[in-house]
Amino acid sequence: MKDKISWKGKLVLITGGASGIGKLMGEIVLKQDADLIIWDINEVGGVAVMKEFSSIGKVIFLKVDLSNVDEINFMAKYVTSTIGTPDIIINNAGVVTGNMFSDSNEQDIQFVMGINAYAPMYVTLSFINSMIKRNSGAICNISSMAGLISNPRMSVYAASKWALIGWSDSLRLEMEITGKNISVTTVMPYYIDTGMFTGVGRSFIPLQHADFVAGKVIESIEKRKAMVIIPMKYWMIRLMQGLLGVKGFDLIIGKWGKVYQTMKTFTGRK
């Protein structure tokens, strides 16, 4: 179980792989001789990436609406019957809104929770029993530092990422206590310099470069790491929260560190 994962000959499924770090991770695994399946709702972008990467290795793009569980299940059955069960699943797709909760509506909540929290569960559920039967595999869930640190103007996004972290690490424990050779990695990056977080303000934590994050995610999967914060260490956040308490953490990280002000200027992807 502790052996380093090799990508050679593996079938890798990446959701949200038509752009951002999803695309970058796809390129990395292809260059390490893996076969790639991209699920994304962006058909134009997905087809373009498939053509761009075709000279590197075997890549297939499938348009999938991850907010629709029936479509997820249909596509999972299609993949299993025509290609096979993925060896590695990277649940990367995500969406964000940057408004006060009082300005949200039911559709906003359902959409964000559906893509960020429910979809990774549905995607994984559609393949997990085949992985268990085969007794091998790796699952990586891309959450966010917002799943550890509360932040104004992104309450629904934070809720979705808190949910994802809780489910993902619980799944890891289930695989371990049942002795299954399936690793589960939960990744929590800070804001990444992709279009998704255009306009975010600066804080004491620097904006993360997409290339760096993509590389760290792939490295973390290879090493079967459990919990990964980029760029900080997981225990540092929890230690500060425990030592400082709510008011102290709000003051030092939120006010002085300016984390709680970052979404004031957020515009997001157009």
29: left (phi over 0), alpha (psi -120 to 50) or beta: alpha
Q: Domain map of the chain by residue range?
A: 11-265
Q: Which residues of 139-177 are buried (b: 16+ CB within 10 A; e: fewer)?
A: bbbbbbbbbbbbbbbbbbbbbbbbbbbebbbebbeebee
Please give the average per-residue pLDDT across 188-202, as a whole number: 88
CA atoms within a 13 Å half-sphere pointing along the CA-CB vector of 94: 32
**116-127 residue pLDDT tens:** 999 999 999 999
Encoded amino acid at 266, one letter: F
**What CATH number matches the domain at 11-265, 3.30.310.50, 3.40.50.300, 3.40.50.720, 3.20.20.70?**
3.40.50.720
| Amino acid 221: pLDDT | 98
Q: What is the pLDDT of residue 7?
A: 97
- Give the tens place of pLDDT for each residue, 63-107: 999 999 999 999 999 999 999 999 999 999 999 988 899 999 999
Positions marked catalytic: 157
Q: Are 56 and 63 in contact (CB under 8 A)?
A: no
pLDDT digits (tens, 9 = 90+) for 148-176: 999 999 999 999 999 999 999 999 999 99
Residue-level pLDDT at 195: 78
Sign of torsion over alpha carbons 54, 59, 62, 63: negative
User: Is a pLDDT exceeding 60 seen at residue 255?
Assistant: yes
Q: What is the pTM of this model?
A: 0.95
Q: pLDDT class for 46, splitting at 50, 70, 90?
A: very high
Q: What is the pLDDT of residues 214-253, one digit of tens each?
A: 999 999 999 999 999 999 887 888 899 999 999 999 999 9
Q: What is the pLDDT of residue 270?
A: 60
